């Protein structure tokens, strides 16, 4: 006799062959359990159709139409996805509330003979879990905050720390944004910033991989990166943490920014559109001055000017307001590979003394 689907409201830490989200693609795109795959039993249009019939005709008709659509879609998933699975396959299946959609998929898979688990309460159970864990988990770590004026290669420094085995929380990578007016990550331009909920899912997954006995290195972000916000618990912990300031001469920062943001020098019209957002703060005269520098290709002067006029004052104000613990300053003469390596050596000594 085929096994019946199991139900669980606490799947965390357990190993499944796959995690299957059977919600519609739009629901899935807003947030999901990290690592889940989307095998919808109703796509977006079908879900809307069934909902309309439910409201305007009757629940009975909606169930009939929905059942036919679900059967068709599960059949396609069986021939296109599940056909290669062996007899030991054991997935976790969830929908919005752990109701009919996940039960339909789980029932068919169980009849084949696979051990299937349904997430009781569905995505809503998962979302409650994320909110609760993000209130408590950030408080378990000791953070060291890397600060420094724009162009100080803070992200590169964090990545080198990570490569050497330090625990690094790269918030800009999780947010797919560098946290400033020009902070859109060009390499991943085809990928939008994650939704607030999915950002929190990714953040929780990262924190759960960390050891509370070791330092967590993080950059001195504000509480908003692009369009996503840091959870309050993490933000409060960061503000109370030790801050290490990286000091780099402005000439080196200018050169680094021109190299790092070459997509803007290659697409000056996009750069001009971006800085137009500063008109209300600095006026038309300053914007025109910057546009002339961009149009003439004088990017070193433009970068130097916008750093001293906008980025540096804003960054100093933010860090002085938010990161008030005793700062340690580390100076670099330039941003050469050797200088960065020497700085990371110093930071790794701090890391090993924890």
Rounded to two decimals, the pTM is 0.91
Q: For the domain 6-131, what is the CATH superfamily, name and number?
A: Rhodanese-like domain (3.40.250.10)
pLDDT tens-place string over residues 297-329: 999 999 999 999 999 998 888 888 888 655 789
DSSP characters over 82-107 = GGG--TT---EEE-SSSSHHHHHHHH
Residue with tokens 């700062």: 327
Predicted local confidence at residue 325, as pLDDT: 58
Q: Is 95 among the residues known to form the active site?
A: yes
Instruction: Decide if 6-131 and 141-352 have a common fold.
Output: no
Q: How far apart are CA 129 and CA 162, in angstroms?
A: 28
Residue with tokens 């070193």: 300
Give which of 91, 72, 150 is closest to 319, Cα–Cα.
150
CA 238, distance to chain mean position in Å, is 17
Q: At the topology level of CATH, where does 141-352 sit? A: Rossmann fold (3.40.50)
Instruction: State the helix-helix crossing angle for 154-163 and 337-352, rounded to 10 degrees.
Output: 60
Give which of 351, 323, 327, 149 is closest to 236, Cα–Cα.
323
Q: One of 20, 95, 207, 230 is an active-site residue; which one?
A: 95
Q: Where are the beta strands (DSSP E) in the chain?
A: 6-8, 19-21, 37-38, 92-94, 117-119, 142-148, 167-169, 215-219, 224-225, 228-229, 242-247, 327-331
Predicted local confidence at residue 184, as pLDDT: 57
Residue with tokens 């433009």: 302
Where do the structural domains in the chain lie, given as residue ranges? 6-131, 141-352
Predicted local confidence at residue 266, as pLDDT: 87
Predicted local confidence at residue 180, as pLDDT: 66
Predicted local confidence at residue 186, as pLDDT: 46
Predicted local confidence at residue 185, as pLDDT: 44
Give the single-character DSSP code of 219. Answer: E
Give which of 109, 111, 71 is closest to 90, Cα–Cα.
109
Contact 110, 87 (CB under 8 A): no
Predicted local confidence at residue 2, as pLDDT: 73
Mean pLDDT in consecutive groups of 10 residues from the start of the chain, 354 residues: 84 93 97 97 97 96 96 98 97 95 97 96 97 97 95 94 97 86 53 92 97 96 93 96 94 93 86 92 95 95 95 89 79 96 95 76
Predicted local confidence at residue 189, as pLDDT: 53
């Amino acid at each position: 006799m085929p096994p019946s689907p199991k139900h669980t409201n606490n799947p965390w830490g357990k190993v499944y062959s796959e995690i299957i989200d059977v919600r519609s693609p739009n629901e899935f795109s807003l947030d999901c359990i990290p690592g889940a795959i989307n095998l919808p039993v109703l796509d977006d249009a079908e879900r809307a159709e069934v909902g309309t019939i439910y409201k305007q005709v009757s629940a009975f008709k909606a169930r009939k139409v929905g059942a036919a659509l679900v059967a068709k879609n599960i059949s396609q998933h069986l021939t296109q996805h599940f056909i290669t699975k062996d007899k030991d396959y054991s997935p976790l299946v969830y929908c919005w509330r752990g109701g009919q959609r996940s039960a339909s998929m789980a029932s068919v898979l169980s009849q084949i003979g696979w051990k299937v688990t349904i997430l009781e309460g569905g995505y809503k159970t998962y979302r409650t879990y994320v909110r609760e864990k993000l209130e408590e988990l950030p408080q378990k770590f000791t953070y060291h905050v890397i600060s420094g004026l724009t162009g100080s290669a803070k992200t590169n420094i964090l990545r080198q720390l990570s490569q050497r085995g330090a625990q690094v929380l790269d918030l800009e990578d999780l947010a797919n944004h560098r946290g400033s007016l020009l902070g859109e990550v060009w390499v991943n331009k085809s990928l939008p910033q994650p939704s607030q909920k999915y950002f929190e899912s990714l953040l929780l997954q990262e924190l759960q991989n960390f050891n509370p006995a070791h330092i967590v290195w993080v950059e001195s972000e504000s509480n908003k990166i692009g369009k996503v916000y840091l959870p309050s618990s993490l933000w409060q912990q960061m503000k109370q943490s030790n801050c290490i300031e990286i000091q780099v001469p402005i000439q080196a920062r200018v050169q680094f920014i021109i190299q790092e943001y070459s997509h803007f020098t290659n697409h000056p019209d996009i750069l001009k559109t971006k800085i137009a957002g500063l008109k209300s703060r600095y006026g038309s005269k300053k914007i025109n001055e910057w546009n002339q520098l961009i149009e003439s290709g004088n990017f070193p002067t433009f970068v130097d000017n916008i750093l001293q006029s906008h980025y540096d004052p804003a960054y100093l104000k933010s860090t002085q307001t938010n990161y008030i613990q005793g700062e340690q300053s580390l100076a670099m003469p330039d941003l050469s590979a050797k200088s960065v390596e020497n700085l990371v050596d110093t930071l790794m000594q701090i890391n090993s003394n924890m």
